[in-house]
Amino acid sequence: MKVYSLKWAAALVALQATFGTSAHAATPANNSFSDISYVTNDKMVAIQEAVRQGLLSGDPQGTFRPAATLTRQELAVLLVRALKLDPISSSSTFKDVQSKQFAAPYIEAAQKAGLLSGDGLGNFRPNDSVTREELAAVFVRAVGGVNAEGGSSILPKDQSSVSQWAAGAVDKALRLGLIDIHDSKLNPTGEVKREDIAPFLLDIFKTQEQTATINSVDGDIVTIDNVPYLIEGKLKELIGNSNKDALKGAILKFNSRNRNVDGLQQLEIVQKDVVLNTNGLPESSLLRISGDGVQIKGDTKGIIELKNGVSNIQLNGNVNHLTVNSGSDVSIKGTGTIGELKVANANAKVTLNPNFKVETIKLPKDISVSQVIQNYNEVQKQIGQIQSADGTVQKTTTVTSSSVTFSSGGGTSTNSVTNHAPGVTTGFTDITLSTADEPKKINLENSFTDVDGDTLTYTAESSVTNVATVSVNGSQLTLTPVSAGTTKITVTANDGKGGTINSQFNVTITPVISEAVNHAPTVETSISNATAGVADGIKTVSLAGVFADEDSDVLTCTATSTNAGVATVVVNGSDLKITPVNAGAATITVTADDGNGGTVDTQFNVTITPMIPEAVNHAPIVETSISNVTIGVADGIKTVSLAGVFADEDSDALTYTATSTDTGVVIVAVNGSDLKIKPVNAGTTTITVTANDGKGGTVDTQFNVRITPVIPEALNHAPTVNTSISNVTTGAADGIKTVSLAGVFADEDSDALTFTATSTDTGVVTVAVNGSDLKITPVNAVTATITVTANDGKGGTVDTQFNVTITPVIPEAVNHAPTVETSISNVTTGVADGIKTVSLAGVFADEDSDVLTYTATSTNAGVATVAVNGSDLKITPVNAGTVTITVTANDGKGGTVDTNFTLTVTPLPAVNHAPVVQSTINDVSTEAGAMDTTIGLASTFADEDLDLLTYSAGSSDPGVATVTVTSDQLSITPLVVGSTTVTVTADDGKGGTVQTTFQVTVVEKRGLFFSELAWGEGDSMMQIIELYNAGFEELDASKIRIERSDSGNSIEISQNAGASISGGATFVIGETMYFGDAHVDYFMDMGFYNDDSAPVTLSLYYDNQLIDTAVFQPHTTIARQSDVTHGNAGHYEASEWFDEGIDYTDNIGIFNSEAP
């Protein structure tokens, strides 16, 4: 057994006391430092806040040492903490820094992050003081402003005192507001004191959400509420010089981090008649428009909101969501597509440019579309659907407004008016000014609102008037700095009717900080020759350690290339960036400058190898056009092969898709290289087939498909005489007599017949045919024979004869019109059933026994056509549907009568195809008690008829695992160790089913758990927590969190550490102050040694799931039994643990479990 004891070294105590023990955790502020009474109030407030945030602390004697100069190692610790970097516990890079020094991990982290470097001789000079120009350079690197180009230049009076190496960094720091000046002087070589650093840390290294106003935009720097911020990434396209005019006075809600705009949530444009390019606008952000006449260019994936008062806007691009909150006339001009147009104000009157397409319009409650869209009739066809406030969706139709008046019953009602207190629209953000700043003016109108429209008056007061005073003139608040410190400003809005509301913000006034000094370099390490490909992109060579400077001056480096046609070079901080241009060789010269006239050069060669040409993708082409297709509605699915239609020069494997312009006529789908065409109804549609080579190349081809109705074909049959024409007797004075030829002839093919007639003696009678009527004109009293010929137009004819006798004038009889004797029953027939015959015999009667002729009509010839052959009605189905048939009886003497019946034509019966298994389901292996496994079934099955499938599943052994199906998702719940067969069934709802099976294996639960806990005795800093992964998969250590019952900070592994735990491996977490020999994978400040009076219950979480519970015993080592494979969530199982004794560490990092 090994016993470990550690005594604190005096130096370690001093350094630890200076900066505290927690890397990132906030600690209670020490407000009773014995030596800060003389410090100005603003610095005292900043020191206390920095202590509270865990950035600074005093020493064990209760002093802070505010007048002491800040050292390089202290600055390294502060930077790492402020930027929340992970200290790097490894061998020291520098000769004058020992690995066991408290600051060593912080110095390594700062060096790796490019914040601080050595002197080129391998030294860090940890105890050297930090000058103000060095601090400026470090701050520029820390906020990522090395390449910043925008912002307003500030030239201090002592600019000539700035070292040459620091000139660029100081200029950027001043433009970014990272370093302050007093009396127009920077004091670049002045030493930074401990009391000075706290305000810088709190001002620069903070993350917060805020709502503020843009003052100006200059390149990559935007000034917001008089504070400069860096703009990076895609956001530079939006907040940049191209939009600087539109962004003046814009109100934005954003996240700021280390003086960078880190995320934009809302942007309000207040300027009128400006152009805003929305490139770079985040998809999740809200764009508000309160200025009139704004022109927006580019697509907007987020939400655009038009505020009240906006009457004109021009949109040139597509907009996902547009909300109109204006209660007046709004004209939306431009062109593009609006996904959703939400009219939120019932009083809005919107005029849409007809060039716009709107997919959905959402209406206010009880408002119709024509009430808010002024030109609705003009743009109706451009609108996809309309959604009412209750969620009802309707397709667009022509809407005619009507006026409705509601009566209140004749009474007069009197409503009392309730006053509403004002509200806060935009909260104030905290403000930091210096004692040398001019008074700051704030417009209060945008910060408050009153729903009653009352005129608001404002008052304001400062909690500490010797720090800052406030005054209000109308709606303008003036804030005047007095002395360093912090005060709270309370602003009150009053509506004059008893309603008031307050809003507060903090104001920090910083003092004018004073100023400090500097020396020359050598080549410490040569730069190796480099080789890169011409297409490899920028190559980075680190200059850290290449140069040294005896005076520890911060060096700036420049570089030149002997052949810029081969490679160009530029220095970014401590990195040399090499950009290949063409194949060849060049010599690179790197110069280090200490800013005091001392320089040194080093050279190396760069060889650029030629680029190997990449293959250029060629889009596929149409090799052979697809012929137009004509098929019958009852012909079933037709397959068209796409083989040979397309060709690809690169021999890429092509995939195909197809669309139909009218799915009510044809549905199409692609299966491999076959195009499936499914007829739906008679009509014509265009099919577009697209070939895709998978590399961005596509080509389309089109052809037409015509679907014909079911029309039976027939051979021509000559007409026949169906009924002989009776002999006719008429008087010589009776005038023209009409004999109907309807029913005289019949045609089996229902051909339309034409008639001609002749008389044997035109001196007795003449004849003529008009349609189906034979006109007989008496001439003289005698007899003649009439011959009538029927012709079907297809070569078939037939004759019939009858006699006409002309008698002298005989008095006429009175004619009676025919009547309906029996109604015709409604008829149902199939679209493919062919011609149906309905007999008209007995349907009509005629009191005069006149010979009746019949005609018939259909209300929709697209559903069915009708024809009369003698006393038979012939019905020919065309398409499925319902029509009304009207039959007319005519007695030939002016008497007619009609009867109606309904004809229903039913569609063709569909042939069902059972679904098939498209892809099998892989076998599943899971742990007993683990989370459910979910498998999507949509791609497992396919249905040729495109039927909607439903799914069910069963387990052969539900004691091992159960299965459930929700929609197309199969869920497997593992219960105990074992194996079961799962059968999944797909049902098309039309009698077609198919099944597939797979195996589910449930294995023993294995996971992460506490395996050993060691707590040292006495003043030993040994607190060790060992974890063991008994599972099969590698675990991400950054998902580990250990909660503790002693109200200490939770124990978490930084994501930046990149740590993981392999299956069958341990992970050991050790106290930062522990310097023993036991194996430790990750050091952090746990601080269990602060109170060793009682055990601490530890709760282990992985990915926010509680997985184990253990008890950390003071002054002993306990270990888990070797047969444990997983933790106990929510309870401590003492029987699984055994005591290994005091300060025992031999088995740390080793757990004798059954390997997974």
Q: What dihedral do alpha carbons 217, 219, 220, 221 form, nearest 10°?
A: -40
CA dist., res. 742 & res. 790, Å (int) = 11
Residue 521's Cα: distance from chain center in Å?
Answer: 53
CA dist., res. 697 & res. 650, Å (int) = 11
pLDDT at res. 613: 60
Out of 649-653, 692-696, 822-826, 1002-1006, which region has the weakest mean confidence (pLDDT)? 1002-1006
Per-residue tokens: 72: 């390089």
| Number of CB atoms found within 10 A of residue 963's CB | 21
Q: What confidence tier does 302 reach under pLDDT thresholds 50, 70, 90?
A: confident
Question: Would the pLDDT of 689 be above 90?
Answer: yes
Contact 370, 380 (CB under 8 A): no
CA dist., res. 730 & res. 100, Å (int) = 139
Mean pLDDT of the region 452-467: 90
CA dist., res. 168 & res. 178, Å (int) = 14
Q: Which amino acid is at 422?
A: P
Structural domain boundaries in the chain = 10-204, 207-395, 423-510, 521-609, 621-708, 711-812, 815-903, 916-1003, 1008-1141
Q: Where does 621-708 sit in CATH, by number? A: 2.60.40.1080
708 burial via Cβ count (<10 Å: 0-12, 13-18, 19+): middle
Question: Would the pLDDT of 1061 be above 90?
Answer: yes
∠ CA(675), CA(679), CA(684), 5° rounding? Answer: 95
| Number of CB atoms found within 10 A of residue 571's CB | 18
Secondary structure class of 198 (helix, strand, coil): helix
List, in order, residues 6 or more apart from 814 with CB less than 8 Å away: none
Mean pLDDT of the region 405-423: 48
Residues 564-618 have pLDDT tens digits of 889 999 998 889 999 999 989 999 999 999 888 889 999 999 999 987 666 688 9
∠ CA(1096), CA(1100), CA(1103), 5° rounding? Answer: 150
Question: Would the pLDDT of 754 be above 80?
Answer: yes
Contact 237, 266 (CB under 8 A): no
Question: Would the pLDDT of 1154 be above 60?
Answer: no
Which residues are 300's β-sheet partners? Answer: 319
CA dist., res. 1054 & res. 1042, Å (int) = 13
Out of 6-20, 474-488, 557-571, which region has the weakest mean confidence (pLDDT)? 6-20
To 10 degrees, what angle do helices 10-19 and 72-82 make? 50
Mean pLDDT of the region 796-818: 85
Could you please state the CATH topology (level 3) that the domain comprising 916-1003 is classified under: Immunoglobulin-like (2.60.40)
List, in order, residues 6 or more apart from 755 with CB less than 8 Å away: 741, 745, 769, 772, 774, 788, 789, 790, 791
Lookup result for tokens 């005060």: 487
Nearest Cα neighbor of 555 from 523, 511, 587 is: 523
Q: How does DSSP classify residue 127? A: T
- The correct CATH number of 521-609 out of 3.20.20.70, 3.90.320.10, 2.60.40.10, 3.30.70.270 is 2.60.40.10
Lookup result for tokens 């996809």: 384
Of 206-220, 330-344, 873-887, give the range with the top mean pLDDT.
873-887
CA dist., res. 169 & res. 161, Å (int) = 14
CA dist., res. 381 & res. 636, Å (int) = 34
Q: What confidence tier does 1018 reach under pLDDT thresholds 50, 70, 90?
A: low
Mean pLDDT of the region 929-947: 90
Contact 620, 654 (CB under 8 A): yes
Average pLDDT over the chain reads 86
Q: What is the pTM of this model?
A: 0.38
Out of 81-85, 1073-1077, 1083-1087, which region has the weakest mean confidence (pLDDT)? 1073-1077
Nearest Cα neighbor of 156 from 597, 518, 515 is: 515
| Number of CB atoms found within 10 A of residue 642's CB | 19
List, in order, residues 6 or more apart from 61 with CB less than 8 Å away: 34
Out of 275-284, 398-407, 640-649, 1036-1045, which region has the weakest mean confidence (pLDDT)? 398-407
Secondary structure class of 843 (helix, strand, coil): coil
Contact 759, 783 (CB under 8 A): no
Q: What confidence tier does 410 reach under pLDDT thresholds 50, 70, 90?
A: very low
CA dist., res. 342 & res. 387, Å (int) = 9
| Number of CB atoms found within 10 A of residue 207's CB | 11
Question: Would the pLDDT of 969 be above 70?
Answer: yes
Q: Where does 423-510 sit in CATH, by number? A: 2.60.40.1080
Q: Which amino acid is at 853?
A: T
Which residues are 71's β-sheet partners? Answer: 129
Cα dist. 964→185, 574, 968, 977 in Å? 75, 60, 10, 19
Mean pLDDT of the region 103-118: 88
Per-residue tokens: 755: 């008639």
CATH class of 711-812: mainly beta
CATH class of 815-903: mainly beta
Question: Would the pLDDT of 313 be above 50?
Answer: yes
Mean pLDDT of the region 683-710: 93
Strands 737-740 and 655-660: unpaired
> Counting every residue, how long is the chain?
1156
Residue 534's Cα: distance from chain center in Å?
Answer: 37
φ, ψ for residue 215 (rounded to 5)?
A: -85, -45
Out of 153-157, 272-276, 528-532, 894-898, which region has the weakest mean confidence (pLDDT)? 153-157
Share of the chain above pLDDT 90, in %: 52
Do 815-903 and 711-812 have the same topology in CATH? yes
CA dist., res. 123 & res. 419, Å (int) = 72
Mean pLDDT of the region 550-559: 86
pLDDT at res. 327: 83
Contact 119, 549 (CB under 8 A): yes
List, in order, residues 6 or more apart from 688 with CB less than 8 Å away: 658, 659, 661, 700, 701, 702
Q: What confidence tier does 562 reach under pLDDT thresholds 50, 70, 90?
A: very high
Of 177-186, 407-416, 983-992, 1141-1150, give the range with the top mean pLDDT.
983-992
Q: What is the DSSP string of 1095-1139?
A: -EEEEEEETTEEEEEEEE-TT-EEEE-TT--S--TTS--GGGEEE
CA dist., res. 160 & res. 758, Å (int) = 128
Domain with residues 1008-1141, CATH architecture: Sandwich (2.60)
Beta-strand runs (E) in 1019-1095: 1023-1029, 1035-1036, 1040-1044, 1051-1052, 1060-1061, 1065-1071, 1082-1084
Q: What confidence tier does 300 reach under pLDDT thresholds 50, 70, 90?
A: very high
Q: Which amino acid is at 580?
A: P
Q: What confidence tier does 358 reach under pLDDT thresholds 50, 70, 90?
A: very high
Nearest Cα neighbor of 1137 from 1149, 575, 1151, 190 is: 1151
Lookup result for tokens 């392999």: 1062
CA dist., res. 906 & res. 1029, Å (int) = 68
Question: Would the pLDDT of 1133 be above 70?
Answer: yes
Instruction: Show the DSSP H helices in 615-725 as ranges.
Output: none
Residues 124-140 have pLDDT tens digits of 898 899 999 989 889 98
| Number of CB atoms found within 10 A of residue 1069's CB | 22
pLDDT at res. 406: 26
Rg of the Cα atoms in the chain: 47
